[in-house]
Structure 1
Amino acid sequence: MRPESAPTTPKGPPPPEIHLFEPSGYAGVFQHACRLGELLGRSGRRVVLHTGHEHETVRLDGVELCPCSWWPRHRDGGARRSAAIAGRYVTRTLPHLHSAVPPGAVLHVEGIAAAGALTLLALGVARLRGRTAVYSPHDTFSRRGRVDGALLRLALRVPHALIVYSQADVEVLRRRGLHARRSPLVQLVPHASKEQRLAWRAAWGAGPDTSVVLFAGCIRPEKRLDVLIESARHWPANRRLAVVGEDRGGWARCAELARTYGVDVAARVDFLDLPEFAAAISAADLVVLPYDKASQSGVLAVARQLGTPTAAANVGGLRELASQTFAPGDPHDLNRAIDAQLASGTAPDPSLDENQAVTVHLLAYGQPA
């Protein structure tokens, strides 16, 4: 009998290291970077995720976590907090990144938390110092005014490659004369147990015959929770509105609107760690995204992988993942979409080609897939 041959050691230099940079350490972009890191790590490359010092607790396979970014999760402080973040970024995080990321390695900047000037610094220094600079903006627009928007548009022209997560963003950048690769939006999606789902439905006061319509994620003015509250004025008695997510300046007006209209909202206005957030999405009958503007949505990606139907405003890349779409800002058309989806009883196809995501990223990095 022929003996088994010993495993051979690959010849040649190891593939270049991949360093992902998501500075905040929490919410959808961080959770995307975590899953992307796991998938890239399976290819045998060294993968490091540089992130916030107060990052969410995660257990990742094949990814080194480096909490080198000072990014406090509390929201108070206003301009002083922003100035402190920027100061430590320039004096500590940026020097660390460009000593920790060796020449020839990839530095992939993820997300909008470090948009504008900070993103421009990270990408510019990386490119000047011989790294492969890659940028995924996650939003191709800025929420911080004209100056930041101009800096973001400039930052989009600095890296060697751009990766986005919707065809809508590919088209937006093409109209600006930029080429971007499109990847599926991979996310960390923990399994929700039956007990977790029942706990959420009990907290919402939802019986077995109640349909829960959920708004999930940051409550910002442009995410238009008010449109969903307007639509809830005309719901049948067996339909329940629930809200989970952190207030980013949109909740006070919406809560007052709900009181004015007599709409009962089961709300938990707070940041939820991923397992609890995913369980809430899994427990809902429908997740609604009534946004005015969007590139894509981690909420939609998570809901799809959990098998929860969705209805989203027909803007940006939302239409590419939603079960139903409706005219933005129109509560009557939103009600049509809600009625149609709840009547259909269909669940979205949860499949996602994670291998395609790896291939797209490695090609953008200039590496063999």
Structure 2
Amino acid sequence: MARVLVVSSYPPRHCGIGAYAHAHVARLRAAGDDVTVLTPPDGEGDVRVWFTAGKPFREAARIGGDFDRIVVHFQPGLYFAPRAPISKIATARSLDRLVRRRPQTEILVHEADAPVRWRPDYVLLRRAFARATLLFHTNAERASLERAYRISAKARIVPHAEAVEAGSISRSEARGRLGLAMDEPLFLCAGFLHPDKAFERAIEAWNRAGMPGRMVIVGSVRDATPANLAYRDMLRDLVAGVERLQLVEDYVSDEDFDARIAAADLLILPYRRSWSSGALARAQVLGTPAAVSDVGGLGEQAGPNDLVVQTAQDLVDAIMRTAAGSPVHEAAA
């Protein structure tokens, strides 16, 4: 049995990283590890501190001597406040000091920004990445970070699906729960609404494919920036008045999310930018095929039943093939 400290956002916060961390903690505890969770005040952690100006990393360094492992779930938006340069420097310095003081620290990199190399916060962040053991979901993500930060990482690959808690629900059960017809093709996009998701690509491909069945986009705006709100408004305009095209603006529960994925014939992730995808991992556990863009680690994360699309026509073909009842990966033939 190991004593493990996990640093992350956590439910009930509506956050994909928090949901992943919750499943990660459950898996560790099921294996017999003694796990303590350090979260922001809105998370149901064992230790709670504000995630500003490096506070979680300083607290982890303070109590970390009692633990065999310290796992930091890293996504910049969790720890680095926007438009706050002094706070960013404090955060990066605190993470660097954590990995120096507690060499058992591992950083699970869910996402990392491209560095601005002259900025002090990125200089400190590069030091932390170079010292710590880094965990990635794909080799593509590892290679991307090593190139961007000019480091040779001490790294391990942790497949995304290993920490996914997906419910056991069949397609027919899911469709019954959602009140959907059993014989109507269903195409699903899911995730937070922002321009990098490129859900409008899926709408365009569905239109070009002849609008078969039904297309549903499920998501909400996490960060209410002008760009994200404008993107949401654009999606609202695209779906307005179109039969069998729906935008569900909500952060749904894990149970409802799993039901929507299980009910779908094809999950479409047409992203412009991504690292890896929790939605894709859940779809793989539930047995729903996906069509994904070849960006970030998605191409590597895609499984044998998924399709990596290179062009807009690839996605049109995938939708048409799915609507005809053929396996999506045959769209590449």
TM-score bin, normalised by smaller chain: 0.7 to 0.9
Aligned to 1:286: 266
State whether structure 2 residue 4 is matched by structure 1 residue 18: yes
SS in 2 for 1:236: coil
- Equivalenced residues, count: 302
2:46 corresponds to: 66
Q: Give the C-alpha shift of residue 276 in structure 1.
A: 1.3
Residues 221 and 331 (structure 1), Cα distance of their counterparts in 2 relative to 1, 3 Å cut:
same
Are the structure 2 counterparts of residues 347 and 232 from structure 1 closer, same or farther at C-alpha, using a change threshold of 3 Å?
closer
Unaligned runs of 5+ in 2: 81-87, 223-227
Q: Which amino acid aligns with 1:53?
A: P
Residue 37 of structure 1, aligned match among 25, 29, 32: 25
Q: Judging changes above 3 Å, is the alpha-carbon distance between structure 1 residues 148 and 215 closer, same or farther for their aligned structure 2 residues?
A: farther
Partner-residue secondary structure (3-state), 1:123? helix
In the TM superposition, residue 41 of structure 1 has moved relative to its aligned partner by 2.8
Name the SS for the 2:46 alignment partner: strand
Which of 29, 32, 36 pairs up with 1:48? Answer: 36
In 2, Cα distance between the equivalents of 1:190 and 1:121?
40
Which secondary structure state, in structure 2, belongs to the residue aligned with residue 101 of structure 1?
helix
User: Which residue of structure 2 lines up, in the alignment, with residue 336 of structure 1?
Assistant: 317
- 99, 103, 108: which one aligns with 1:127: 99
Within 5 A, what are the aligned runs for 1:358-369? none
Say if 1:247 and 1:264 are closer, same or farther in 2 by CA, change over 3 A: farther
Secondary structure, counterpart of 1:210 in structure 2: coil
Residue 178 (structure 1) shift: 2.2
**Residue 6 of structure 1 aligns with which residue?**
none
Please name the residue that 1:265 is paired with. Answer: 245
Distance 1:223 1:110, change over 3 A: same
CA 1:208–1:244 in structure 2 vs 1: closer, same or farther (change >3 Å)?
A: same
Unpaired runs of 5+ residues, structure 1, are 1-14, 57-64, 71-84, 349-369
SS of residue matched to 1:334: helix
- For the pair 1:161 / 2:133, whether they are aligned, the reply is yes
2:307 is equivalent to residue 324 of structure 1: yes
Q: Which residue of 2 aligns with 1:231?
A: 205
**What TM-score comes out, normalization by structure 2 length?**
0.78
Deviates more, 1:214-223 or 1:239-248: 239-248
Give the counterpart letter for 1:19 in structure 2.
L
- Distance change >3 Å, CA 19–CA 51, structure 1 → 2: same
The residue type equivalent to 2:52 in the other structure is A
CA contact (8 A) 2:266 2:291 kept: yes
Q: Secondary structure at the match of 2:291?
A: strand
Q: If the length of structure 1 is used for normalisation, what is the TM-score?
A: 0.71
Query: Aligned partners of 2:259, 2:168: CA distance in 1, in Å?
Result: 8
Work out the CA distance in 1 between the residues paired with 2:46 and 2:182. 45
Q: Secondary structure at the match of 2:52?
A: helix
Deviation (angstroms), 1:209: 2.6
- Letter aligned with residue 64 of structure 2: V
Matched, 1:86 2:86: no
2:158 corresponds to: 183
For residues 209-266 of structure 1, the C-alpha deviation after alignment (integer angstroms, 9 at most, x for no partner) is 3111000111111110111122222233542110111124231112223349x46522
Work out the CA distance in 1 between the residues paired with 2:212 and 2:282: 26
Identity %: 23
- Aligned-residue offset at 1:141: 3.0
Would you say the 8 A contact 1:324–1:341 is kept in 2?
no
User: Is 1:296 matched up with 2:276?
Assistant: yes
Q: Please state if 1:171 is matched with 2:171.
A: no
Letter in 2 for 1:181: R
Partner of 2:74: 111
For 2:63, the equivalent position in structure 1 comes to 100
Alpha-carbon contact 2:185-2:214 (below 8 Å) kept: yes
How far off is 1:305 after superposition? 0.2
> How far off its partner does 1:344 sit?
5.7
Work out the CA distance in 2 between the residues paired with 1:209 and 1:264. 14
Decide whether aligned partners of structure 1 residues 197 and 239 sit closer, same or farther in structure 2, where only a CA change above 3 A counts: closer
Contact conserved, 1:21 with 1:50, CA < 8 A, in 2? Answer: yes
Counterpart residue identity of residue 177, structure 2? A
Measured after TM superposition, the shift of residue 125 of structure 1 is 3.1
